[in-house]
Each structure stands twice: as structure tokens, then as C-alpha cells.
Amino acid sequence: MSADTISDQELIEKFLCGELLDHEKLIFDSRKKEEAFLALLETSIIAYKGRLSLKQTLKKIGKEVKSEKPKSTRKSVFWMSGIAASVLLFISIYFFSNQKLSSDELFTIYFKAYPNAYTTKGSTSNYTLSQKAFDFYDAAQYKLASKIFDEITAERTLNSSEHFYFGISLLYTDEIENAKMQFKKVVPEHPLYNEAQWYTSLSLIKQDSLTKAKSILIDKKSQFSTSRKNSVKNLLNELTK
């Protein structure tokens, strides 16, 4: 099967099983930009957790059955009916209760690279480090982008746009504290300031600091762009479960 034709469901199943190949990870990150894919990803994670819990429950019930002394046929039928009822009750509780996602699951669902809206100036003959960093960013080579952004800091102070995209690149390489520091340096009057707050909240979620993340989202809720508000609303709903 061509990498481009892999279905959303198959891609998510491979992600849940930890079997994504390197090129499939790039496809996974790309499709996370689509709302329909994110919705399917969240549903699949919840269902996957449910399958694991159900498997553990059935295994436990099986052990209980084996440990029971032999009973009459009538009692055995009654016992098995009880098992069936227990399983049905468990399934009902699972499907009709709110499933709380872990911090890592929330981060995986909601974190994706922000499109590069920053235009670097320069000519082909004067290829700057900033251009190089953004080229790596556009190519989803975030580790290399982070390295170049870091090299720039040795020569001059980064501007707000560079701090912002440097922070996102660092999140991809799990350098959470450094990423938070970069987002903090985006000045309030900059167009990407509110997006920096969004990524700061995701950084905190990655660190399991859910209360702090929720506080930022609530505080900045009315200031987010129209395209971001739906994600903010859904994430806040998850954080209040």
C-alpha cells in the first residue's frame, strides 16, 4: 500500500500499537491538521483504552472461574449468567461514562505544528540562518530547525516569530522547558502571541500541569482566533472531566 493511501483508521491503529514507520509519522502529523482526523483519533484512543480495560476484566473473571470449585449444572449456569451480567455492566459503564484522557493522549491529539506564516528576507546569494531554520521547519525537520534557531541566538536576539517557531520545534524534540521559555518571549502585541499561549498550555499538559494549562486557556479564551476557539473549547471540556 502506498504511504499516501493509508487510511486514517489504519494510521491511528498503527500509532496506538507503536508501529508507525518514520514516513508514517510525518503523514500522521500532517493529518492531525484535519478536524475529522482529530475526532477519529480521540474516539479511537478512548476505544483502545476501553478494549484494554475490558481485556483485563475478562482475564480477571476467567481466573475467578478457574478458582471456583465444581458446581452443579444449574449452579454453573447461574454463575455464568452472573459473569455475563458483570461483563455487560462493565461495557455499559464504559460506553456511557466520560472517559478521561491522559496528559500524553491530550497532547498527542491537540498538538500539531503551526503553519509557517513568517516570511524571511534575503536572496539566494545571501542565504541567512533564519531562512535555513524556517526551511527545516517547513520540511518538518524540527530537530535541525531547533539547532539552527539555537545557533542564531549566539549571533543576535531572536524576534518574536523566531521565538514562536523555535518553541514549536522544541516541543517536537521534547525540550518542554526550553519551549515554554521561547513562547514566553513572544511579545503581547505580536500577532502570534495568543497562539504562543495555546502552545504554552499544551507544554504544561505535556508536563501534567493540567490546572495551570486550564488557567491559561480560560484567561485567554476570548482572545483566541476564530479558527482556534473550537480546539480551545474542546480541550477545556477534556480538562474539566
- Residue-wise pLDDT for 59-110, tens only, equals 555 555 555 555 555 555 444 445 554 544 454 444 444 568 899 999 999 9
Distance CA 147, CA 215 (A): 32
- Global pTM exceeds 0.75: no
Are 223 and 140 found together in one domain? yes
Are 224 and 141 found together in one domain? yes
Are 200 and 120 found together in one domain? yes
Closest CA to 92 of 58, 61, 59, 54: 54
In eight-state DSSP terms, residue 90 is: H
Q: Domain boundary at 99, 129, 146, which?
A: 99
Structural domain count of the chain: 2
The count of residues in the chain is 241
Distance CA 23, CA 9 (A): 16
Q: Domain boundary at 99, 118, 148, which?
A: 99
155 contacts 132 by C-beta, under 8 angstroms: no
Are 213 and 170 found together in one domain? yes
Are 128 and 218 found together in one domain? yes
Query: What average pLDDT does range 41-68 have in this prediction?
Result: 65
208 contacts 103 by C-beta, under 8 angstroms: yes
Q: For residue 48, what pLDDT band results from cuts at 50, 70 and 90? A: confident
Residue 147 burial (CB < 10 Å; 0-12/13-18/19+)?
middle
- Residue-wise pLDDT for 175-186, tens only, equals 999 999 999 999
**Does residue 21 sit within a domain?**
no
- The number of C-alpha atoms within 13 Å of 41 and in the hemisphere containing its C-beta is 22
Are 161 and 234 found together in one domain? yes
